[in-house]
Homo-oligomer: A and B are copies of this chain.
Amino acid sequence: MMMQTPLVLTDMVKRAETYYAHKEIISRTSEKKVHRLTYGQWVKRTRKLAHALTKLGMERGDKIASFAWNQHRHLEAYFAVPCAGAILHMVNIRLSTEHIAYIINHAGDKIILIDEDLVPLIEEVQSELKTIEHYIIMADGELPETTLPNVLSYEALLEEADENFAFPEDLDENAPASMCYTSATTGNPKGVVYTHRSLVLHSMSISMVDTMAISERDTILPIVPMFHVNAWGMPFAAVNVGATQVLIGPQFTPALILDFIEQYNVTKTAGVPTIWLGALQEQEKRARDLSTLQEIFCGGSASPKGLIKKYEEMGVNYIVVYGMTETSPIVSMSRDMSHMNDWSLDEKIETRAMQGLTVPGIESSIVNENGEVPWNGETMGELRLRGPWIAAEYYKDERTAEAFSDGWLYTGDIAVRSKEGFIKITDRTKDLIKSGGEWISSVDLENALMSHEAVFEAAVIAIPHAKWQERPLACVVLKEGANTTKEELTAFLEGQFAKWWLPDDIVFLTEIPKTSVGKFLKAKLRESVNEIYPQLQL
């Protein structure tokens, strides 16, 4: 019948060195220096890294940690480690030190690759790390002084390694390739292990024209960090199709993002809504030439419709995507379908703001106690997912049973289905407000509030209520210099929602606490509000 050639990442590296050796990777490192290297050079360095790690004792199935920004050395590790048969553990640098130590120990990482400016963070936890044998520092020049033991220089290791190092030819497509941990509501982060097969299929998927359409002709700028869910899979897909990559490095600002888009003729970029809100404000202050920019992919939390519209009016296609650590991550997106051609921009944006249609290969289902929800845009249920790039379990974690059953991943996201079949996330299971037996979506209220001209950010949480069990409380951060009142905002929400959905109270804060990836941290918000308004008894 057909050849049993496996779906493995090594084929992507071979492809890049064969056909795309002339294409470029632009990389800003922790010393804030911009490097330009070709894919040809990058493949040689990637083979060298695999050789160097092998010489240090890396064996098949070993876990190797990375603790780094978006830069070319991190991209080398993305391929060198799995192509040698080991597993790259991308450690989220924004976790608490306690959790950083936990996940490195839990994964059992043998070697860690650290960005120069992040060394102090690892120094803080080093005494607690039980399995790390080598600390490799990625720096352009001299290594910094450090208290870390067994320190090696990334560049020195590469200098002594073989650029023709051959990857094993017998990798199984179901072998583990990389892993990420995702924050849990309570307790330690949970690990997800990706396989060669899942990463290859995800790469093919996001290069399909109806998904992220990543092409050899693109210059991609992932703002989403490479320490967070495979940077949405973009670095893998880019190597597979030979797209130019722009890796923005540490401590980037809205100004730097826009400068990079202008300077390197970026065509596609991706990140969370707060990034694009910030970029918009910066662009309004000082306009850059963004004429090459075709598409922004935005996920992580809901995108305000006003934000989508602003970018659309600038000629940039603003596409909402959806996924999570457990899903590689891209499982759905909000591209226009052909029957929407004649819709007005406002009608399109209604749909665009949703999380969209599941991509080919992924099956979705939204269920509540009555089974699958009807496609009415109203009935809420929990979103569950199935497919070849969806996790089947958490890595050595008893909490697997909480999220995986009957062959489905239960996402913990509450969603409705529009009449087009588009998924619209209305809440997290745990953030849903249950008022008198009915469900109120905190996300819908937040989005409505954020479309008010005076509001910068809004988060809605449940407050306890004697009669209705729970009632919504809105927490609002105003734009700089803007002014409004509780009464004005309530009036603004009236008419958009049923009366019983309206928040019982609106409080004004200077900021909403967020997770490491820019999502509202509602547990922490609850604490802050409690401090300021103890009478609410949260």
List residues of chain A with CB under 8 Å of any chain B CB.
Answer: 1-7, 11-12, 14-15, 18-19, 22-23, 174, 176, 193-195, 197-198, 201, 204-205, 207-210, 213-217, 240-242, 244, 337-339, 357-358, 360-361, 363, 386-393, 407, 409, 421
Contacts and interface: CB of A to CB of B under 8 A. Distances in A.
Given A1-B392, A210-B216, 9 more contacts: A1-B176, A1-B193, A2-B194, A2-B197, A6-B388, A11-B363, A204-B360, A207-B209, A217-B337
A252 to B, nearest CB: 25
Contacts of A7: 361, 388
A204 B208 contact: yes
A204 B207 CA distance: 9
Given A210-B241, A363-B11, A5 B204 contact: no
Interface centre among A174, A207, A421, by most chain B C-beta atoms within 10 angstroms, is A207
A434 B268 CA distance: 50
6 contacts: A1-B174, A1-B176, A2-B193, A5-B390, A216-B338, A244-B338
Contacts of A19: 357-358, 421
A507 to B, nearest CB: 42
A195 B357 CA distance: 27
A409 B2 CA distance: 11
Contacts of A4: 174, 388, 392
A387 B14 CA distance: 13
A193 to B, nearest CB: 5
A1 B391 contact: yes
Copies of this chain, complex-wide, total 2
A61 to B, nearest CB: 12
Contact of A214 (B12, B209, B391): B209
B5 A360 contact: no
Contacts of A407: 3, 5
A391 B197 contact: no
A169 to B, nearest CB: 10
Given A360-B204, A421-B18, A5 B174 contact: no
Contacts of A210: 207, 215-217, 241
A3, A197, A213: which has the most chain B beta carbons within 10 Å? Answer: A3
Contacts of A215: 209-210
Contact of A387 (B3, B12, B201, B421): B3
Nearest to A203: B360
A339 B22 contact: yes
Interface centre among A201, A244, A361, A421 (most CB of B within 10 A): A361
A198 B337 CA distance: 27
A1 B360 contact: no
Contacts of A198: 1-2
Nearest to A360: B240
A198 to B, nearest CB: 4
Which 10 pairs across A and B sit closest by C-beta, in order of nearness? A2-B198, A209-B213, A209-B209, A209-B215, A207-B208, A3-B392, A217-B338, A1-B193, A204-B204, A19-B421
A214 B7 CA distance: 22
Contacts of A216: 210, 337-338
A1 B195 contact: yes
A229 to B, nearest CB: 14
Contacts of A6: 388
B14 A363 contact: yes
Contacts of A388: 2-7
Contacts of A339: 22
A237 to B, nearest CB: 9
B357 A5 contact: no
Contacts of A2: 174, 193-195, 197-198, 388-392
